[in-house]
């Protein structure tokens, strides 16, 4: 790990100001990923602005929406009564990720900013276009069993690691940010970028911006929702595939649907194609299968991860069946 200066910020304005004076510095929240990346010499900030004391750890209902401070810990969000009752897919997604110890430290803002677990990215000795542009991608011709099959490019196929973000894109969440230039908000769906020719650019967050909150709109039918995660072992493991789904059924037809996928996309993946198949159809297995086929129609698997294609479809179908059976 390299030497770095350490600052403790008291307010968002203080944190933004401190970072503005440290061109090679970065914010330190829960530190559950940043410290690993510093030890592995993947990230080498020369200053850490500790934002753990910022007053951004509240969860509040505001005009029907749920306003979640960026410093809310993952475990607190998962256990919050409003999340458990109004957005169960989000609570389940959070509880399916990491370990209790990590969830107690990891923050909502940090979870959104998670970086890939691609092993080539995490070893500075290996080629990786994301870590060091134009050095090549070791994974495409190498080990890529865990990698993405949707949204890939010939520069990068890294899968997005977050479970929480999959549920949040299904729920139309909005990210709020602040900097010396003012405040702005973007839908989470637009926050993460596809790798394209510039996999090193991962989000729309600009240098100097601080994520202050995430907002989830009122979505009454999300009370009947689920997050289904398939992985190599039962806990403390990233998704091979996952699905966050919600459907609203009235008079024998699906009136509204949300489908988002994890473990398969280079960003948290909203499956609009699947939602279009579901809406105005009867809730039955053959329709769920059609929706799953539509969701994966654009997939480009490699030799080691082509199993994800069928696994992701089955995950969607089972998640929809589970939601249909909810009271």
- Least Å distance, CB 161 to ligand SF4, is 11
Task: Among 28, 158, 271, 319, indicate the residue that binds ligand SF4 (CB under 6 A).
Answer: 158
Task: Among 7, 27, 87, 120, indicate the residue that binds ligand SF4 (CB under 6 A).
Answer: 120
Which residue's CB is nearer to ligand SF4, number 140 or number 186? 140
Structure tokens at 5: 């200066």
Q: Using CB under 6 A, which of the segments 124-132, 166-174, 179-187, 281-289 binds ligand SF4?
A: 124-132
Q: How many CB atoms lie within 10 A of CB 140?
A: 17
Residue in the block written with tokens 């839908």: 187
Q: Using CB under 6 A, which of the segments 28-36, 154-162, 163-171, 286-294 binds ligand SF4?
A: 154-162
Sites for ligand SF4 among residues 247-276 (CB under 6 A): none
Taking the C-alpha atoms of residue 20 and residue 46, their distance in angstroms, rounded to an integer, is: 13
Residue in the block written with tokens 């069946």: 321
Q: Is 138 in the site for ligand SF4 (CB under 6 A)?
A: yes
Which residue's CB is nearer to ligand SF4, number 139 or number 319? 139
* Dihedral-angle region of residue 260 (phi above 0 means left; psi in -120 to 50 means alpha; beta otherwise): beta
Q: Is 168 in the site for ligand SF4 (CB under 6 A)?
A: no
Question: What does the DSSP 8-state code read for residue 300?
Answer: -
Those residues with Cβ within 8 angstroms of residue 141's Cβ, 6 or more apart along the chain or in another chain? none
Total residues belonging to the chain: 327
Task: Among 97, 109, 110, 199, indicate the residue that binds ligand SF4 (CB under 6 A).
Answer: 199
Sites for ligand SF4 among residues 26-85 (CB under 6 A): none
Which residue's CB is nearer to ligand SF4, number 36 or number 321? 36
Q: Using CB under 6 A, which of the segments 89-97, 155-163, 276-284, 300-308 binds ligand SF4?
A: 155-163
Please give the backbone phi and psi of residue 34, each rounded to the nearest 5 degrees, phi first: -55, -45
Which stretch of DSSP H or E encloses residue 245?
strand 241-250
Which residue's CB is nearer to ligand SF4, number 62 or number 134? 134
Taking the C-alpha atoms of residue 214 and residue 291, their distance in angstroms, rounded to an integer, is: 29
Which residue's CB is nearer to ligand SF4, number 56 or number 128? 128
Measured in Å, how far apart are the chain's first and last C-alpha atoms?
52
Q: Is 116 in the site for ligand SF4 (CB under 6 A)?
A: yes
Structure tokens at 234: 């039962």
- Give the binding site for ligand SF4 (CB under 6 A): 116, 118, 120-121, 128-130, 137-139, 156-158, 199
């Amino acid at each position: 790990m390299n030497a770095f200066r350490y600052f403790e910020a008291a307010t968002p304005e203080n944190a933004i100001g401190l970072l503005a004076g440290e061109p090679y510095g970065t914010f330190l929240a829960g530190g559950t990923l940043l410290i690993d990346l510093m030890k592995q010499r993947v990230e080498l900030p020369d200053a850490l602005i500790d934002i753990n004391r910022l007053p951004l750890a509240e969860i509040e209902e505001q005009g029907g929406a749920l306003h979640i401070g960026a410093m809310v810990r993952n475990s607190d969000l998962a256990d919050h009564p409003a999340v458990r009752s109004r957005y169960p897919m989000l609570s389940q997604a959070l509880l399916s990720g990491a370990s209790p110890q990590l969830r107690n430290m990891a923050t909502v803002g940090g979870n959104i900013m998670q970086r890939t677990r691609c092993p080539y990215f995490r070893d500075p000795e290996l080629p990786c276009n994301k870590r060091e542009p134009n050095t090549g991608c070791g994974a495409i011709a190498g080990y890529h069993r865990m990698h993405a099959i949707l949204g890939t490019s010939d520069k990068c196929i890294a899968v997005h690691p977050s479970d929480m973000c999959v549920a949040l894109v299904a729920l139309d969440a909005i990210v709020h940010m602040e900097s010396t230039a003012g405040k702005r908000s973007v839908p989470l769906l637009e926050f993460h970028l596809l790798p394209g020719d510039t996999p090193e650019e991962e989000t729309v967050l600009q240098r100097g911006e601080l994520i202050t909150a995430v907002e989830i709109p009122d979505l009454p039918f999300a009370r009947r929702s689920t997050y289904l995660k398939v992985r190599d072992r039962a806990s403390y493991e990233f998704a091979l595939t996952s699905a966050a789904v919600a459907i609203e059924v009235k008079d024998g037809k699906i009136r509204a649907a949300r489908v988002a996928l994890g473990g398969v996309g280079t960003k948290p993946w909203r499956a609009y194609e699947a939602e279009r198949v579901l809406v105005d159809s009867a809730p039955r297995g053959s329709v769920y299968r059609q929706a799953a086929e539509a969701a994966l129609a654009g997939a480009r698997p490699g030799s080691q991860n082509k199993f994800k294609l069928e696994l992701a479809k089955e995950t969607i179908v089972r998640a929809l069946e589970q939601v249909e059976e909810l009271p």
